[in-house]
Chain A
Amino acid sequence: MAEYKLNTPLTDEDIEQLKAGDVVFLSGTIYSARDAAHKKLVELLDAGKELPFELEGSAIYYVGPSPAPPGRPIGSAGPTTSYRMDTYAPRLHSLGMKASIGKGKRSDEVKAAMKEYKGVYFGATGGAGALLSNSIVESTVIAFEELGPEAVRKMKVKDFPLLVINDCHGGELYVKPRLDTVG
């Protein structure tokens, strides 16, 4: 297991070196989007319109932060469960998205898309939203403000601690439950 410091935008070379289990400290710009925002992004694509941010080399964080209290750039900001974005993720990978950040299992379709388009799935610790918010130094809503917590945010992160869950070589970190141990 290796440790990397990476910056956005991410390149094919950045992604290819990563293996499930590696630790990555990510810096640069990432975008928040979850259920409702993904639906709207795909509707924009279907209508042939521009997305509110550049997908090439991007990292999307599946997060709906709590409101920022006075004096902080963002509230609590841990990952949400990723499978709800599985319908949309392959298409975004095909258009240049390099990384998604969340928690929980991904579908076979998403894993195949990561292989084909050189993508990676990072896990962050679920429920550690206060701690993870310390790695987010700036946050601005750039689209779909009406969605409230689900709006798309442009966020500047510094050394955001991530774990490679699925790499672009078919590797996966999650363990298989030992169902054989129970009667």
Chain B
Amino acid sequence: MREIQGKDVIEAVAGMCMRGNTVLPADVRRKLEQAMAAEDSPSAVEVLRQLLENADLASDTKLPLCQDCGLAVLFVEVGDDCKVVGGNLRDLINEGVRKGYADGYLRKSACDPLTRANTGDGIPAIIHFDMVPGDKLKIAYMAKGGGAENMSRVTMLAPAQGWEGIKRFVIERVAEAGPNPCPPTIIGVGIGGTFEHAAKIAKRGLLRKLDDVHPDPKIAAMEKELEEALNALGIGPMGLGGKTTVLGVKITLEPCHLASLPLAVNVQCHSQRHEEVVL
């Protein structure tokens, strides 16, 4: 059984929070540059230009890309053959988030849902654990801002609605969200599982790189079809019109109950802040 030191978990998570909030991922930058080259509308070009300038400034000054440094969402894969020593894994991860948000001057946005009192330190984080074979600990961090998250939805379709029903729901959701979630957005679509599982896999899909093509050609084609349909809406950067409403669509499909067709749409802003470490 391989041992992993608790302090290494804290440092790794804190580092991801700080880097993730200040450095635009390379795949997102490439996609924004391509989008800027493809746009004809001056306002669309100007918004994309500002986003690229913002990314340069954030990485130079270490200011967060966005003032909303999100609720910290972590997807953790724990290998069967490793053991974390020096503390409980959930506590260690929360401690890493607390440290990263404090040391990085990141905005703490966690609060009581009813009194709205801020917890003051950015925790508790939302942590999803999964047991996997091997002796490694893999932690992925995502900063999930409120503006985009608020535009997300879960629904239960009837099985007969199939792919046509799924497409319609996703398109109508993105159309209704309009300028609110800071388009161009990245759309995570979870199809299958149960009510809560669909939401989880929709979000997990957002950890994939924008330029990665789904290994299943059928799903890859569905992603392409949805991406084209969403860009045809003409919402454009910040809702001011244009060809770039979404930077990508990531579909995750898993088996479900024979009576159900759970569907979740998780909307992610253009910054798509995420990081991954393997210990």
A residues engaging B (CB < 8 A)?
Answer: 35-36, 63-69, 72, 75-78, 80-81, 83, 103-105, 123, 125-131, 133-134, 147-150, 163, 173-175, 177-179, 181-182
A66 adjacent to B69 (CB under 8 Å): yes
Q: Is B45 among interface residues, defined by CB-CB distance under 8 A?
A: no
- Please tell me the number of chain B residues within 8 Å of chain A, measured between CB atoms: 51
B69 adjacent to A126 (CB under 8 Å): no
Main secondary structure of the interface of A (DSSP, over half): loop
Using an 8 Å CB-CB cutoff, how does the interface string of B22-33 with A read, 1 for contact, 0 for none? 000000000000
Using an 8 Å CB-CB cutoff, how does the interface string of B144-179 with A read, 1 for contact, 0 for none? 001100100000000000000001000110110011
B179 adjacent to A131 (CB under 8 Å): no
* Known A131-B54, A148-B118; further 9 A-B contacts with Cβ < 8 A: A63-B67, A69-B105, A72-B63, A81-B150, A127-B51, A128-B50, A130-B58, A174-B178, A177-B233
Report the Cα distance A134→B54, complex, angstroms. 10
Which partner residue on chain A sits nearest B172 by CB separation? Answer: A179
Are A80 and B68 also in contact (CB < 8 A) when A131-B57, A177-B234 are? yes
B65 adjacent to A76 (CB under 8 Å): yes
Are A175 and B66 also in contact (CB < 8 A) when A125-B50, A125-B51, A127-B182 are? no
A175 adjacent to B147 (CB under 8 Å): no
Are A75 and B64 also in contact (CB < 8 A) when A128-B54, A179-B233 are? yes
Main secondary structure of the interface of B (DSSP, over half): loop
Shortest CB-to-CB span from B233 to chain A, Å, is: 4
Which partner residue on chain A sits nearest B59 by CB separation? Answer: A130
Report the Cα distance A123→B229, complex, angstroms. 26
The residue from B66, B108, B116, B241 contacting A129, defined by CB atoms under 8 A apart: B66
Q: Is B53 among interface residues, defined by CB-CB distance under 8 A?
A: yes
Report the Cα distance A46→B175, complex, angstroms. 37
Are A76 and B63 also in contact (CB < 8 A) when A126-B147, A131-B53, A181-B233 are? yes
Q: Which residues of B contact A36 (CB under 8 A)?
A: 116
- For window 102-127 of chain B, which residues contact chain A by CB distance below 8 Å? 105-109, 116, 118, 120
A68 adjacent to B54 (CB under 8 Å): no
Shortest CB-to-CB span from A87 to chain B, Å, is: 15
A68 adjacent to B182 (CB under 8 Å): no
